[in-house]
Structure 1
C-alpha cells in the first residue's frame, strides 16, 4: 500500500512512523518548510519527503492519504484528491485503525485541552496504562507505532473529525459549542457544530457520549441526529438523576455509585472549569475509577499552560496568560471568572468574531482594553464609546508596557485574545510565551498560586 502524508509537523511525522512500522510505501509532502528536527527523524526513518511544494505525480498515485488538520478543506490539492476518490484521513483516523486500545476522545469549542489533560491525569493517577495525544502531547500515530498503551486520551478538533471514516471512541465528550472556525465552514454555525458531532457518529450502544445539557446547539442537533451511542449529560443549571451537575456549591456525579463534593475543593477556577470537571468525572466513573481517586485528582490537578495560567504578581498587579483563548466564547469564560478589575489584552487574526457575546462582561469587568494585532480596527470600532481606555499596539512588548502603565494595585492584566495568533506569532504558545517573557523581563515578580 502506498501511503502519502500531507504535512510535516507532529501529526504528519507521527503518521510516517506508523506507516513505516506497518511496512507501507511512505511519502511525505509539505507545502511549507519542514523543521530540521522533523527532517532528521524522517531521514532516520528512511521516508522519502519534500517541502516547499506538493508534487501531484507523487501524491495522486496514493492508496491512502493522511492529511494534517492544518491544511484547509478547500485547498487545491485536497480537491484533486477528492476528485480522484482516494481515501483521505486524519492522523487520528489512521492511527485508530491499528490499535485495540480504548479511546477517550474530547472535542468542543472550548475547554478541550484542560479536560483532556484532566482526564489523562485522573487515569494516570489511578494507575492506568494510558497515552495522551491528538491536539496535545505526542502524536497519537507515533504512540501507536512505538508504545503499548491500553487507553488513549485524545484532544480532537473539528478539522481532525472532518477526515474520519471509522473512528469510534469508547467514550466521547462534546463539551460545548460556540461560533469558531466559521471561515472553514462556509460561515455556517450548524455546519461547524455537525463536524464536532462526528465524534459520536460511529459509536454504538456499548459506547458513551458525554454532552453538555445546557448547550443550545447540542440540544438542537441531538434531537435531529440518529446516534446509537449511550448518552450521558452534565449540567450547571439542572439536577440530573443520571449524569453530573453542579448547582450552588454542590458538585454531584450520578454515574455508577456516584459521589459529591464542594466546588471550592476543585483545583481549577471558574464556572467553565466546573463544567469541565463534571465531564471528566463522568468519564472516570464510566471507567470504574473509585470516587476517592477521582476526588483526589480534581483537588490536585494543575491548570494547563496558556489557559488562565498565573504568571506573576508585580506591585500588586496579577498577570494571567490565557493565550489559548482564540475565540470569543473562551474569553467570555475567562472574563467571567475574574473577580478584580481587568486590563484586557485582546486581538490577533479575526475569525469572524462577534463581540456582542462579551459586551456586558467587558462593561462590568474591564477597566482598559489593550489591542494587540496588525489590524485592531474591528475591536476598536466595536468598543469605542463603551470603554474610554482603548490602546492600539502591534507588539507584545508594547502591549505589556501599556498594560503595566495602566494597571494599578489590585488589578489583573489578562491576555485573553479572542483571536488566532498568526498575524504576529507562530501560534498561541509563542504568543503566551512572549507575554510571560515580557511580563517577567524588567521587574522582580512575586510567585502567585
Structure 2
C-alpha cells in the first residue's frame, strides 16, 4: 500500500516536531518553508532523512498531499493555503495532528493575555504535585515531538487563536480561557466577533466530564458565551463578585470552591506573581489544580515560589534609583495596559514596533496618570504620536534598543520606572520579542 503523504508548511519548532512524529507514524513526509530554515532544525531534518525545501513553496510538491500541517504563523490568505483549500486538501495544526497519537490528557490554556504565565504556573503546580506532565504548544518544545519521544500522562498546552483555527477534532480535557481583548485583528478581518469565535473553539468537542475555566469579569468572553454551546462543567473566576464552583476574591483572599468539602483559601500577599492580572492567572491555575484534586499545601507552595518568566514584567536592574523593566512580550495594547497598571511610579514608556491595527484608546487614562515620556522604538511611529500627543509632553523616536535605553536613561529621574512594553510586534527591528527583550537588557547593563 502506498504511504499517505503529509506535507508540513513551516520548519520551526512546531513544523519540525510534526515532521518527527509523522515520520515515526510511517507517513511519507515533506517539509516546505518559504523562508530560510534555522541551522538546528535543518540538522534534525537531515539527520532523520526527511525531505525538505527552503526559501520557496514548490506547489507541485505540496498539492499532492493527503493532509497538510501548517505553522500557526502562516495566514489563510497566503496563496499556497488558498490553493490547498480549493483542492479540499485538509489543513490542520501540529496540535491537532499530535493529539491523534497520544492518550495523555490535555489542559489547554488560551487568552489574549496571561497565557504563558498561567501555562507556566499550572505546569509548575502539576510537576510539584508529582504528576507525569509535559509542557508544550506556544511554549517550550513541540507537542508533536514530545508525543513522538516522551510518555507523559498530562500535557499543559499554551494555545493561540491561530492554532485553534486549524483544530477540528481535538478535545481539551480542561480548557482555560483567560480573556478576549483585541489582538491579531489583522488575521480576523479586523472583526472582534471573528477573533472571539476563534478563541471559543477551545471548548469544541468537550464532554460533560470535562471542565471549562473562564473569567466571569471579561465582557467579551461573556458575550461570546451567549452564542457558544458549552457541554463541559463551567468554572468561572472573578475578582469582582462571589461565584460558585470556581474562584473569587474576597478582601485579600482568593477562595477556590470547586469542591465544597475541600475549599482553598489563600492570601494574595502569598503569591509570587504580583499585580491584578496575576490574581486572575493564579485563580485559573488554582482551579485546574483543584479539578485534579491536588493538595492545598502543594498549590500554596507552588504559587508562592514560582519564578517570573523572562520578558514578562521582568525586573532587569535598578540604576541611580530608576527601575528598568523588560516587558517585551507585551505585543498587544492590552498587555501594555496590564504592565502600566502594575507599576506604581512615574514611567518612561518604551513602545512601538509593528502595529497590528492597534487601538490605543484604552491606554490613554493610564498614560495620562503615569507616563511622563514615551520613547518610540520602531521604524514607523506615526500612530503612537497621533494617539498620545495630547497626553504626553515628550515623545521621542529611536531606532535601536541601545538608543531607546540611552534616551530613557536621560529622561528618567530617581524613583521613576523605565518600562519596555511595546504593545506591538517586533519584526521591524528585531528577530522576535525575545531578541528585543535581550537587546534591551544588554543595553541596560551597559549603562
Scaled by the length of structure 2, the TM-score of the pair is 0.98
Measured in 1, the distance between the counterparts of 2:135 and 2:227 equals 32
Gaps of 5+ in 1: 443-449
Counterpart of 2:411 in structure 1 is: 406
Alignment partner of 1:170 is 2:170? no
- After superposing on structure 2, the runs of 4+ consecutive aligned residues of structure 1 that deviate more than 4 Å are none
Measured in 2, the distance between the counterparts of 1:48 and 1:385 equals 56
How far apart are 1:97 and its partner, in Å?
0.7
1:316 to 303, 312, 321: 321
2:145 alignment partner, SS class: helix
Alignment partner of 1:117 is 2:120? yes
1:9 to 12, 32, 37: 12
Summarize deviations over 1:111-163 as a string: whole Å, max 9, x none. Answer: 01000000000001111111100000000000000000000000000000000
Alignment partner of 1:210 is 2:213? yes
Measured in 2, the distance between the counterparts of 1:226 and 1:275 equals 24
Measured in 1, the distance between the counterparts of 2:319 and 2:97 equals 48
How far apart are 1:248 and its partner, in Å?
2.9
Counterpart of 2:372 in structure 1 is: 367
Measured in 1, the distance between the counterparts of 2:144 and 2:55 equals 24
- Would you say how many aligned residue pairs link Structure 1 and Structure 2? 442
Q: 5 Å matches for 1:48-447?
A: 48-256=51-259, 257-442=262-447
2:156 alignment partner, SS class: strand
Summarize deviations over 1:270-321 as a string: whole Å, max 9, x none. Answer: 1000000000000000111011100110111111110001111111111000
1:276 alignment partner, SS class: helix
Measured in 1, the distance between the counterparts of 2:205 and 2:84 equals 24
Kept after mapping to 1: 8 A contact 2:200/2:228: no
Measured in 2, the distance between the counterparts of 1:38 and 1:376 equals 35
* Comparing 252-261 and 144-153, the one that deviates more: 252-261
1:77 alignment partner, SS class: helix
1:38 alignment partner, SS class: helix
Summarize deviations over 1:340-373 as a string: whole Å, max 9, x none. Answer: 1111101000011111101000110111111111
Measured in 2, the distance between the counterparts of 1:241 and 1:231 equals 10
Measured in 2, the distance between the counterparts of 1:17 and 1:141 equals 8
Measured in 2, the distance between the counterparts of 1:186 and 1:52 equals 28
1:99 alignment partner, SS class: coil
Gaps of 5+ in 2: none
Measured in 1, the distance between the counterparts of 2:272 and 2:34 equals 43
Alignment partner of 1:41 is 2:44? yes
Measured in 2, the distance between the counterparts of 1:268 and 1:195 equals 29
Summarize deviations over 1:83-119 as a string: whole Å, max 9, x none. Answer: 1111111000000111000100100000010000000
How far apart are 1:242 and its partner, in Å?
1.6
Measured in 1, the distance between the counterparts of 2:319 and 2:310 equals 20
